[in-house]
Chain A
Amino acid sequence: MCRKKINLGLMTRFSLVVLASFLIFSFTVVAETLPEKIVVGCLEPLTGAHAVFGTEAKVGIELAVQHINQAGGIQSLGGIPLELVTEDVGETAMSARLATESLISKHHPVAVLGLYISRLTTAASEITDREKVILVADALVDDVTEMGRQYLFRPAPKASMQGRSAVEFVLGAAEKAGISMEKVAILNEDSSFGRSNALGAVQGALDNGLTIVYQKEYPYDITDVSSIVHGIAAAEADFVVHCPYFMDAIIFAKTFRELGKIPKFIAGMGACGYTDPESIQALGEIAEGYSNTYSYNPAKDTPQNRKFVEEYTAKVGHIPTEAAGMNYYGMWILKEALELSGNLFPEDPLNPDNLRKAFLELDLTSGPAVEVFPTDHVTFDGKGDNPYARATILQVINGEPKVVWPFEDAETECIFPRLDATY
């Protein structure tokens, strides 16, 4: 008797499982008629070691969606608003894949923004390509666009360009100040991002006839950097080009100051680092004079950018970080692509291949997307890179990050060399 009961229980449970699966299945199959909203996904690392970037990026995306909808949605599609869905991608390839599959299968977005970390992007972009979902990437590592992904677009300047920009900025500023710079030290944290930046800097240094007297890669969770600072001083480097991860910028700046061995200039390259609002707050007056490349220009004096900076500052308490800025303009560029797709392919604008074509056709020189973009030209090559992307350089002057390079877009004159340089 009893055994029968158990088997029955198992059978019912089994059929329940089947039933539940069918229910889930039927819910996920959504009829593809005229949508009332265009669903866009946000996949950012909101927990784990990279959460610091992801949480800022998420706010940038949210604001962009809000602004786009306020401005009347996608006009060429009859003013359809955007709807944002978010998932946390964690810090491993496994969680990134799960999140991407989950978001795409539940919400069927036409496009996804984010991922930030190159290895998460590598894992997730395989899925977005398979599902033909546009991925507007914010991972800056050069290789992200070298994998042959068809539906991946990256508006921001790639990492090696940032490294090169840092070197060019220092040389330009030195020339203006009439100082000669010959010996450079290059430092980077040991991720693929740090490596890409450093390669760009090395190339930039060699092209300009500089001697690289010191070069080290270090893990970002380093606990003491005295020996590196001593090493740079012993090599008598004129200036340092450094790609910090984030927190390591703080320990480097403090150690430079404390040991009193400060070269003529210390230029940061790559995301955040020295000029991030958090670092500036944490460093206090030590932050003075540090510069860092930025894939976004918070000082760009355009109506759209002022609005973004103002609302972002009101919401978060500091000016937009690079992660927030990149995603804010990423979303606006996506919006422009949707508009273009609506014009070019009115019969099926949300078809991924049509949208992809629209991205490739995109050639923006004005409008809100360009108003928040660091340069005045957005277009994509076959790989998905924007050939007109350039980094700007921010320097901490009187406790505020100010745009100092390119010189023609500068907010103020840069301080060069460092006032507290000791050799």
Chain B
Amino acid sequence: MEQKKNNQVTKSLLWLLLLIIAVIIPWILGSNQYSVLLVTTVLLYGVMATLWNIIGGLAGQLDLGSFAYLGLGAFTSGTLLIRYNFTPWMGMILGGLVAAGFALLIGIPLFRFRIREVWYALTTCALVEILKVVFTMWEKVGGPVERYLPHYGSLYHMRFSSYIPYYYLMLGLLLIALGVNYRINKTRLGYYLKALGEDEIAAEVLGIDTRSCKLKALVCYSFLIGVTGGIYANMYGYIHPSFFDGQESIKVAILGIVGGRGITYGPLLAALLLVGIQEFLRASIGGDVSGLYLVIYSVILIVVVLFRPKGIATIFQDVYQRVFSRRGVEKKNVQ
């Protein structure tokens, strides 16, 4: 009992320490805008992959549509800012609602007709492309020409001239994302999701309303991604249909898978490592031999998936377990 409690305390201490590091990172990096942008980008992927974990990891639905919701959020908040000078602080919430509404619209028939596994994955993949075409053709809101978000350097318009505020926004979102993951994991919904993620038919036989469970997970995920989209648009300073990016959506799912499906901090870990490696390779050799860094990156990706199919988070779990269980064994021996 006591040991378990100790375990809990260590865990919370570890998290606290990480949080403190995360909070002071911008102060350390300070004047180097690149480093702050880099950590912010890593966090962005971390947020998206952690949110993806709700639908992809827990519920086992391979969603490849994250940038569809991101784009919807970005377009909602961006368009409101351009047209009506509406503050993105509210706009991003509305963006989240639009994304969640759209997800409901798609999710209800999708789950009603029991579309799952690869077909669910392909539907969401197609969704991103559909939205891209729709927004390219919808001249009033999208169109092929970039729409530049004005008011650079204004708090009301969430257009900061430094990345540090965006960093903290992303950090906040990350905490929310981790919190939501953690909460769902602890509640009945989490158990249901995990059950149906393992075996959907068995879960149905047990009397779980898989449809509403999946729908809840999808709405949670899409709403928060939509909110992220609002920040994304302001950070990059424009809106454009190319935000609906199929490749990047797949990348988010890959981060979730590589990190370890269903492990709360797994996707974040994968984002830290893989996005970090990719950016390091791009910045160091990308200018000399074009394309080489992607070769290296993809080889790393394949190797990781091949030898750690349960996710890289399991490496950390193993280490953690080994350290603590050994102590447990020692104690037992003493007793």
Give A residues with C-beta under 8 Å from B. 2-3, 6-7, 10, 14, 17-18, 21-22, 24-25, 28-29, 42, 46-47, 51, 54-55, 85-88, 90, 92-95, 97-99, 101-102, 104-106, 118-119, 122-123, 126-127, 130-131, 141, 143, 147, 190-192, 194-196, 217, 219
Contact = CB atoms under 8 A, between A and B. Distances in A.
Contact of B28 (A3, A21, A92, A93): A21
A195 B145 contact: yes
B310 interface: no
A219 B13 CA distance: 53
9 contacts: A24-B32, A87-B282, A87-B283, A97-B236, A98-B279, A118-B146, A119-B238, A122-B148, A126-B237
Contacts of A195: 143-145
Contact of A25 (B32, B237, B283, B327): B32
Given A3-B10, A102-B283, A143 B146 contact: yes
B236 to A, nearest CB: 5
Between B240, B279, B287, B291, the greatest number of chain A beta carbons within 10 A of the residue's beta carbon is seen for B287
Contact of B34 (A105, A192, A196): A105
Contacts of A196: 145
A104 B34 CA distance: 8
B76 to A, nearest CB: 18
Contacts of B10: 3, 6
Contact of A88 (B31, B287, B323): B287
A92 B148 contact: no
B37 A101 contact: yes
B249 interface: no
The 7 closest A-B pairs by CB, nearest first: A88-B286, A46-B290, A86-B287, A101-B34, A105-B34, A192-B145, A21-B28
Contact of A46 (B29, B133, B287): B287
Nearest to B29: A21
B77 interface: no
A87 B290 CA distance: 10
A55 B32 CA distance: 28
Contact of A47 (B37, B161, B294): B294
Nearest to B21: A14
Nearest to A55: B290
Interface in B282-312: 282-283, 286-288, 290-291, 293-294
B17 interface: yes
B166 to A, nearest CB: 11
A192 B144 CA distance: 5
Given A55-B290, A92-B248, A123-B238, 13 more contacts: A6-B323, A10-B17, A25-B31, A46-B290, A93-B240, A94-B44, A101-B38, A104-B34, A105-B35, A119-B146, A127-B33, A194-B144, A196-B145
A94 B41 contact: yes
Given A51-B290, A105-B32, A2 B327 contact: yes
A93 B238 contact: yes
Contacts of A191: 144
A118 B147 CA distance: 11
Contacts of A104: 33-34
Contacts of B21: 14, 17
Interface string B76-112: 0000000000000000000000000000000000000
Contacts of A18: 28
Contacts of B13: 7
B245 interface: yes
B123 interface: no
A106 B32 CA distance: 9
Contacts of B30: 25
Nearest to A101: B34
B152 interface: yes
Given A101-B37, A119-B238, A47 B290 contact: yes
B314 interface: no
Nearest to A189: B144
A122 B34 contact: no
Nearest to B236: A93
Contacts of B248: 92
B35 A24 contact: yes
B146 A192 contact: yes
Nearest to B238: A122
A217 B30 CA distance: 46
B236 A123 contact: yes
Interface string B4-24: 001000100110010001000
B247 to A, nearest CB: 9
Nearest to B24: A18
B279 A122 contact: no
A105 B288 CA distance: 19
B60 to A, nearest CB: 29
A123 B148 CA distance: 9
Between B14, B286, B288, the greatest number of chain A beta carbons within 10 A of the residue's beta carbon is seen for B286
B328 to A, nearest CB: 11
A99 B283 contact: yes
Nearest to B248: A92
B34 A98 contact: yes
A110 B194 CA distance: 55
A93 B244 CA distance: 12
B24 to A, nearest CB: 9
A124 to B, nearest CB: 10
Contacts of A54: 290
Nearest to B36: A101
Contacts of B33: 101, 104-105, 127, 131
Contacts of A17: 21
B10 to A, nearest CB: 6
A10 B323 CA distance: 14
Contacts of B286: 46-47, 87-88, 90, 99
Contacts of B327: 2-3
A15 to B, nearest CB: 11
